[in-house]
């Protein structure tokens, strides 16, 4: 893993923007894997700025999101589709039929998982996958214990993840208990991975990632076996308790 240490959240977002804009501008038909959560918001804001300044276009870009809550439809303000539309897609010139966020209200969720995988393959695979990390080491919604061989699947969310994400909902009871998530193998099949880590709340996870062994008990640890991973991490996330 190529670990880039930066001062703070803004610098992390700045560096991530440089990398993503560079890939969009150099690849012929860029395929981006995108993540939700607070971590990549600064990246998306800066990409929009670059778009407004005419420095990048999404005309030829295809995107695949990592995950979606089961039971929330596209119009639900807590769905990841809605998040992506509000934070990025509606501000740039992407063709919405090039956008793939798993459908959390599909009548056949297993089929939805297979289709997400197939669409990724048909697009030629993900060129660069943006990732955040959960406090428990989850990537996408792949909780500890998820097989490294997993493809897109329906997952039961950990209580710690439900609690961490409750801040976006009116009450914790409203947080879905399941999600559709790209699997760990799906993520590892990306040609390049960009992991963003910011804030003290991620310091334990970051220490485990850097110093721990590769184990299904800590999903992000598998990234150490990928040959093209950039981690951009800020000082707070490197604070050793």
Q: Which residues are catalytic, by number?
A: 67, 136, 138, 143
150 sits near ligand GLP (criterion: CB under 6 A): no
Q: Does residue 234 bind ligand GLP (CB under 6 A)?
A: no
Residues 27, 62: contact at Cβ < 8 Å?
Answer: no
Choices 33-41, 97-105, 120-128, 206-214 (CB under 6 A): range interacting with ligand GLP: 33-41
Element (DSSP H or E) covering residue 6: strand 2-6
Cβ distance to ligand GLP smaller for residue 104 or 134: 134
Question: Cβ of 95: how many Cβ atoms within 10 Å?
Answer: 12
When the beta carbons of 122 and 189 are compared against ligand GLP, the nearer one is: 189
- Concatenated DSSP letters of 87-142: HTGGGS---GGGEE---TT-SSHHHHHHHHHHHHHHTTS-SEEEE---TTS-BTTB
38 is an interface residue for ligand GLP by CB under 6 A: yes
- Kindly list the strands in the beta sheet with 153-156, ordered across the sheet, starting from the edge strand earlier in the chain: 67-69, 178-181, 153-156
Asked if 102 interacts with ligand GLP (CB under 6 A), we say: no
Interface with ligand GLP (CB under 6 A), residue total 14
* Closest separation in Å from C-beta 138 to ligand GLP: 7
Q: From the list 13, 17, 39, 136, which residue makes contact with ligand GLP (rule: CB under 6 A)?
A: 39
Cα diameter, the chain? 46
Please identify the residue of the shown chain whose CB is closest to the bound ligand GLP.
132
- List of residues 6+ apart from 170 with CB closer than 8 A: none
Asked if residue 37 binds ligand GLP (CB under 6 A), the reply is yes
Q: Give the residues lining the site for ligand GLP (CB under 6 A).
A: 35-39, 66-67, 132-134, 140-141, 161, 165
């Amino acid at each position: 893993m190529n670990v880039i240490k930066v001062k703070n959240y803004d610098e992390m977002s700045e560096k991530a923007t440089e990398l993503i804009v560079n890939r969009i501008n150099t690849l012929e038909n860029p395929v981006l894997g995108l993540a939700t959560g607070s971590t990549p918001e600064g990246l998306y804001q800066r990409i929009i700025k670059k778009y407004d300044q005419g420095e990048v276009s999404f005309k030829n870009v295809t995107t695949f999101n990592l995950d979606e809550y089961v039971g929330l439809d596209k119009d639900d303000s807590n769905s990841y589709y809605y998040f992506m539309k509000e934070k990025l897609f509606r501000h740039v010139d992407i063709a919405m039929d090039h956008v793939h966020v798993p459908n959390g209200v599909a009548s056949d969720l297993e089929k939805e998982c297979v289709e997400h995988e197939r669409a990724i393959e048909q697009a030629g695979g993900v060129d660069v996958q943006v990732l955040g990390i959960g406090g428990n080491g989850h990537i996408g919604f792949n909780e500890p214990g998820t097989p490294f061989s997993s493809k897109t699947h329906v997952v039961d969310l950990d209580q710690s993840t439900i609690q961490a994400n409750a801040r976006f909902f009116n009450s914790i009871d409203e947080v879905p208990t399941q999600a559709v998530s790209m699997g760990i193998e799906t993520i590892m099949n990306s040609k390049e991975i960009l992991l963003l880590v910011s804030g003290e709340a991620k310091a334990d996870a970051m220490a485990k990632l850097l110093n721990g062994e590769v184990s299904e008990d800590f999903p992000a640890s598998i990234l150490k076996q990928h040959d093209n991973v950039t981690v951009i991490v800020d000082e707070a996330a490197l604070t050793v308790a």
